[in-house]
């Protein structure tokens, strides 16, 4: 499972011209799911992101987590995070999980992250053509892959 975590001042997701999620200060999280991903990946990633200290404290040092600031979050499934461009110029997505595997894992991640944050979070619409707007704060962008924990 791969994630791109962006600290944002605001973010929103639109599908077919309608806003489906919107937040102010918090995290926009793009999630890529592989067929090999499991509940263990979900639990580890959710815990890691919820405790990630990338928000400024009173001294301006990145020392606070989304939990500490009571921030909001949007989680969007993005299979292109598993693109391979080793051969040619057209990306291959063979490592990305098919919807029958990816959808339950994505939904499980959202549920687990909501538990870790203690609040409802925003989401995208799986498989939809989404328009995502964000104001990256910092900018701060972190990438995580559960297959590279060590």
Catalytic residues: 78-80
Q: Using an 8 Å Cβ cutoff, are 8 and 134 in contact?
A: yes
Question: In DSSP terms, which residues pair with 131 in a beta bridge?
Answer: 14
CA angle 8, 123, 78 (to 5 degrees): 85
**What's the CA gap between 75 and 30, in Å, rounded?**
6
Q: φ, ψ for residue 54 (rounded to 5)? A: -125, 10
- In sequence order, the 6+-apart residues with CB closer than 8 A to the CB of 10 are 22, 23, 24, 25, 134, 135
User: Would you call 85 helix, strand, or coil by DSSP?
Assistant: coil
């Amino acid at each position: 499972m791969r994630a791109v975590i962006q600290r944002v001042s605001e973010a929103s997701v639109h599908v077919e011209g309608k806003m489906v999620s919107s937040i102010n200060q918090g995290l926009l999280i793009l999630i890529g799911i592989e067929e090999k991903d499991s509940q263990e990946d979900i639990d580890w990633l959710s815990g890691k992101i919820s405790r990630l200290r990338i928000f400024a404290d009173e001294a301006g040092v990145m020392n606070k987590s989304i939990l500490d600031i009571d921030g909001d979050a949007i989680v969007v499934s993005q299979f292109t995070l598993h693109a391979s461009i080793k051969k040619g110029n057209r990306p291959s997505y063979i490592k990305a999980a098919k919807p029958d595997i990816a959808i339950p894992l994505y939904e499980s991640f959202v549920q687990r992250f909501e538990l870790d944050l203690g609040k409802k979070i925003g989401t995208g619409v799986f498989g939809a053509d989404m328009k995502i707007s964000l104001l990256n704060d910092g900018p701060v962008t972190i990438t995580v892959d559960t297959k590279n924990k060590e």
